[in-house]
């Protein structure tokens, strides 16, 4: 496994050390409670809650979120108010109320899901239309309070942490746009290998324990150690075994549906 870079090492979520900080979890996986993102989120949330964090989970898949049409009405004609009539205003209220945000999205074609992107585009109502500068370049000032930090939780199908690189860069830049600190990421590649709990119980338990420990550390001390994040991303089986397992699964599925079609 290649070394973790700084963004994956020490997580600076320092303000969570204050008691009972409120965290909004933006759950941007279309399969919601039934998917692998939830498999990783569950122990992570146990860890956060264990240390007293107040967690508000917003399942984007259950919400009506229309896509931004780029009209800029929310910038000037009706400042802070979008032309769409949907669930975003109540979600924006919940975001304004939170001290920190956890963005939970699986990797879809090397990036975040369209649910996550549509939601984030609609967060431009948080921005004042004027331009200002920071130490990197030009950004908008904030119109409303935004969570002080964004922490990413993500899973993907392929083995290797490099599969998260475009997503990491994207979320880091999104955080800057909202004057928020990018607080790091809990990343679980080769997520389907979690299904091998019967064959590799110790390895799977070690990963799940590290995921829960990530929540504990984040809430308790404001950091997640490099070692804990590394264990959470550890290989459970060799890539060759994953390939064999995935291909056997899809062959079974193809046969199953072919049989069903033949009977019709």
Check residue 29 for interaction with ligand FMN (CB under 6 A).
yes
Question: 101 vs 156, which CB is nearer to ligand FMN?
Answer: 156
Question: 89 vs 157, which CB is nearer to ligand FMN?
Answer: 157
| Residues in region 169-208 near ligand FMN by CB under 6 A | 191
What is the Cα–Cα distance from 76 to 71, expressed in whole angstroms?
Answer: 10
Taking CB positions, which residue lies at the least distance from ligand FMN? 35
Site string for ligand FMN, 92-121 (x = CB under 6 A): --------------xxxxx-----------
Question: 139 vs 246, which CB is nearer to ligand FMN?
Answer: 246
What is the Cα–Cα distance from 93 to 104, expressed in whole angstroms?
Answer: 19
Q: Give me the sign of the Cα torsion angle 158, 160, 163, 168.
A: positive
- 14, 35, 61, 80: residue in contact with ligand FMN (rule CB under 6 A): 35
CB of 220 to ligand FMN, least distance (A): 27
Asked if residue 96 lies in contact with residue 123, where contact means CB atoms within 8 angstroms, the answer is no
Check residue 91 for interaction with ligand FMN (CB under 6 A).
no
- 26, 100, 125, 155: residue in contact with ligand FMN (rule CB under 6 A): 155
Question: 142 vs 197, which CB is nearer to ligand FMN?
Answer: 197
Check residue 36 for interaction with ligand FMN (CB under 6 A).
yes
Question: 37 vs 228, which CB is nearer to ligand FMN?
Answer: 37
- 157, 166, 176, 204: residue in contact with ligand FMN (rule CB under 6 A): 157
CB of 215 to ligand FMN, least distance (A): 18
Check residue 31 for interaction with ligand FMN (CB under 6 A).
yes
CB of 33 to ligand FMN, least distance (A): 9
Annotate the chain with DSSP letters as a single string.
Answer: -PPP-GGGTS---GGGGSTT-EEEEEE--TTGGGSHHHHHHHHHHHHHHHTT-EEEEEEGGGS--PPP----TTTTTSTT--S--SSHHHHHHHHHT-SEEEEE---BTTB--HHHHHHHHGGGGGB-SS-EE-SSSEEPPBSS---SEEEEEEE-SSSSGGGGHHHHHHHHHHHHHTT-EEEEEEEE-SGGGGGGGTTSHHHHHHHHHHHHHHHHHHHHHS---HHHHHHHT--SS-HHHHHHHHHHHHHHHHHHHHHHHHH-
Question: 37 vs 214, which CB is nearer to ligand FMN?
Answer: 37
Residues binding ligand FMN: what is the number (CB under 6 A)?
A: 16
Q: What angle do CA 115, 121, 123 make, to 5 degrees?
A: 105
- 156, 167, 168, 194: residue in contact with ligand FMN (rule CB under 6 A): 156
Q: List contacts with ligand FMN (CB under 6 A).
A: 29, 31, 35-37, 106-110, 155-158, 163, 191
């Amino acid at each position: 496994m290649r070394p973790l870079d700084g963004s994956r090492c020490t997580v600076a979520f320092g303000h969570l050390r204050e008691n009972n900080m409120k965290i909004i979890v933006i759950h941007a996986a279309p399969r919601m409670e039934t998917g692998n993102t939830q498999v990783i989120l569950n122990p992570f949330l146990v860890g956060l809650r264990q240390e007293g964090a107040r967690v508000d989970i917003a399942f984007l898949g259950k919400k009506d979120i229309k896509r931004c049409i780029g009209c800029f009405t929310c910038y000037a004609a009706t400042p802070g108010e979008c032309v769409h009539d949907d669930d975003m205003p109540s979600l924006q209220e919940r975001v304004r109320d939170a001290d920190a945000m956890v963005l939970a999205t699986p990797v879809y074609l090397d990036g975040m899901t369209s649910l996550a992107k549509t939601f984030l585009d609609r967060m431009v109502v948080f921005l004042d239309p004027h331009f200002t500068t920071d130490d990197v370049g030009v950004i908008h000032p904030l119109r409303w309070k935004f969570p002080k930090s964004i922490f990413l939780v993500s899973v993907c199908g392929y083995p290797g942490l490099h599969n998260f690189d475009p997503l990491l860069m994207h979320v880091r830049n999104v955080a800057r746009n909202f004057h928020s600190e990018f607080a790091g990421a809990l990343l679980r590649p080769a997520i389907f290998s979690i299904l091998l709990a019967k064959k590799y119980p110790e390895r799977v338990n070690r990963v799940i324990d590290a995921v829960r420990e990530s929540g504990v550390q984040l809430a308790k001390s404001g950091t997640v150690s490099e070692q804990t994040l590394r264990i959470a991303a550890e290989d459970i089986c060799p890539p060759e075994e994953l390939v064999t397992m995935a291909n056997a699964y899809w062959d079974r599925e193809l046969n199953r549906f072919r049989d069903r079609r033949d009977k019709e």
